[in-house]
Amino acid sequence: MRFFLYTLSLLLLPQLLFGQIDRKRYRFLSTNELFFESGSFELDAQDKAELKALVEKLAEEELEKIIIQAHTDSIGSSLHNNELAKNRANSVAQELLLQGLDSSFIDVRTYGEFSPIANNDTEEGRAKNRRVSVYALGPYDPSRFHDKCKIKGRLTDSKTNAPLANAQILIVRMGRQDTLFTDAEGHFEQLLGGFRQLELRAYAKNYFFANRLIKTPETDSIYLDIQLEPALLGGKIQLSDLYFQAGTAELLSNSEKTLNEIADFIRYNAKLKFELGGHINKPNRAPVPPQSRSYQLSQARAKAVYDYLIQKGIAAERLKYRGYGNWEMIHPRAQTALEQQLNRRVELKIIQ
């Protein structure tokens, strides 16, 4: 039953957000996501600072409503999780009031475990589901939105600010993909019809790629200044949004988008060779030995990504894989769920 609810909630997510607001139309001002430890509804110092900054920012906006949506993972009973979600929402609401927000703006929604954004079968997924989403809404103004929008920008080297000529720009939206290239000065430009959301990906030879998510424009043009990191020997990037079956090296289907982006990046940089490194989360502990199950899991997950890329046509001689156990954790003394999530990762490293 819980798997069914997870699938259904993904299909109904827009309705869950907008369907209960009211029939009045609003304009998004901002979105904030706060994450919690398992079973906890306490805000940490970073959460409080983020909410303080939000209230200060909204003081300059025409605010109509703040929707607080509180969620949990599926650990424990549904009744317990409903109460936990309510406590999380109240923690956020109380902090907003302490920062000076008028209570008349606040609209609290609690969903317990019934509106996950990730699979609750994995710790990574559960960490993403233990969240409160804060949506700030202003009055809808149709004059802000346009049937056509020109997307233009410039691609440069992040170290030298030099323009990146003949770099590939992919504009991806539902049902179609546009490809264009930068000119000698790194500029690009494309006129698009109206859209709700699109993704822009930028690729250049010997550079790590970048992507940008763009929502409904409020002007008839958008300018993007994108800087790419040079893909130097030893340089590495974290493969975000990779999901594995809990305790295994089995990749879940919602990892496919990230995997395909990496495959495109590797194809585009045909002269580079890479290592895939698997990492696990075991903070405040000694390095696990290579013969341990934990180390073997880190290696098996790196190999799973390796196997996927090989199936996508990447030459085997361009790739290696290796497990690192908990030897190179980003947060060796991780305390928050987010810090632990960042420790569990697969990285792509340039080795030649």
∠ at Cα 124 (121, 130), nearest 5°? 90
The dihedral over CA atoms of 221, 222, 223, 227, expressed in degrees to the nearest 10, equals: -160
pLDDT score, position 20: 47
pLDDT score, position 142: 58
The superfamily CATH assigns to domain 2-142 is: OmpA-like domain (3.30.1330.60)
CB 27 within 8 A of CB 137: yes
The hierarchical CATH code for the domain 236-350 is 3.30.1330.60
pLDDT score, position 4: 36
Residue with the bigger pLDDT between 168 and 25: it is 168
* Mean pLDDT score, 8-23: 41
The helix (H) or strand (E) run that includes residue 276 is strand 274-279
Write out the two tokens for 112. Answer: 């317990």
CB 288 within 8 A of CB 326: yes
Name residue, tokens 């940089």.
Answer: 269
| Domain 145-228 classification at class level | mainly beta
pLDDT score, position 199: 83
Domain ranges of the chain: 2-142, 145-228, 236-350
How high does pLDDT run on average in the chain? 83
pLDDT score, position 237: 83
Q: Say how many residues make up the chain.
A: 352
pTM over 0.85: no
Q: How confident is the model at residue 89 (pLDDT cuts 50, 70, 90)?
A: very high
CB 99 within 8 A of CB 52: yes
pLDDT at 192 over 90: no
Worst-scoring range by mean pLDDT, 62-66, 105-109, 150-154, 251-255? 251-255
Q: Do the domains at 145-228 and 236-350 have one common CATH topology?
A: no
Residue with the bigger pLDDT between 323 and 191: it is 323
Q: Which of 333, 340, 336, 351 lies closest to 279 in space, CA to CA?
A: 340
* Mean pLDDT score, 78-82: 90
CB 263 within 8 A of CB 243: no
* Mean pLDDT score, 316-321: 94
pLDDT score, position 318: 94
